[in-house]
Amino acid sequence: MRSNAHPHQSAYEICKANNSPRGNPLRTAGSTPRPTPRRPSRRAPGLPSALPTTSSSRIEDVASAHDAGRPAACTARAGDVRIPAVPRFFQFYTPHDDELTVSLLRCAHESGSTTSMQRTDTWQLGWRHVDVATSNRDLNRGSGADLGLSDPFFRARLRGKGIDPAEQPEKATAMWMDSIWHGRAWSWDKAVRALSAAVVCLAQQEGHAVGNIAQADQTC
């Protein structure tokens, strides 16, 4: 991944360099690590939620907290049905790795996500330089790659590169970052084909009869 403003540095290198107060005069309180994962907020009853690809908790763990939140609240309030059952959104920055794409969408689907928001707009982390200078950068500290580290396909990719997440968390999260913001822009055709392939795969696993990918493209 290369940035126009920094053509000889990857997005990870840019963020890493800007991570110190000396190298980053715009650093704010928002750039400190999150002290807690996303699970506690998901226990709040009736609260719609969106889980991003760079979550600091696994999809399954967030889903479990979400599942436990509403029944516990209803019980505490003597079965108050006014606490709604709400949708769960999966904010998905789509990898160019098709196996990883299908695997992550399958996990989100099986964990109760009702809507996938396919993100194909920010093709490179570091493209928005003000965001890089002022925002939270957990990935540079070995945090925020939990979705990848719990995925069998991504773990296989790590093993292929000789990276042990337990011993090399920063390298593992850097690879996860590069799997999401990968320096290759999405064409509309590629974006539709990737989503169609994932939908077809999930439908087949559910036992539904579906057409081939070309037919799925035409439908989309």
Q: What is the pLDDT of residues 36-54, one digit of tens each?
A: 444 444 455 556 778 888 7
Answer whether residue 127 is part of any domain: yes
- Quickly tell me which residue has 């763990």 as its tokens: 61
Structural domain count, the chain: 1
On whether the CB atoms of residues 58 and 38 are closer than 8 A, the answer is: no
Answer whether residue 113 is part of any domain: yes
Q: Rounded to an integer, what distance in angstroms lies between the CA atom of residue 96 and that of residue 103?
A: 13
Answer whether residue 207 is part of any domain: no
Asked which of 60-64, 84-88, 204-208 is least confident by mean pLDDT, the reply is: 204-208
Answer whether residue 211 is part of any domain: no
Answer whether residue 44 is part of any domain: yes
Answer whether residue 115 is part of any domain: yes
Q: Who wins on pLDDT, 213 or 64?
A: 64
Q: Who wins on pLDDT, 9 or 88?
A: 88
Predicted TM-score (pTM) of the model is: 0.62
Answer whether residue 15 is part of any domain: yes
User: Which residue range is the domain that position 44 belongs to?
Assistant: 11-141+178-186
Answer whether residue 159 is part of any domain: no
Integer angstrom CA distances of residue 107 from 11, 12, 101: 28, 27, 10
pLDDT for 196: 73
Question: How many Cβ atoms from other residues are within 10 Å of residue 79's Cβ?
Answer: 9
**E strands, 25-171, where?**
49-52, 88-93, 115-119
Q: Rounded to an integer, what distance in angstroms lies between the CA atom of residue 87 and that of residue 89?
A: 6
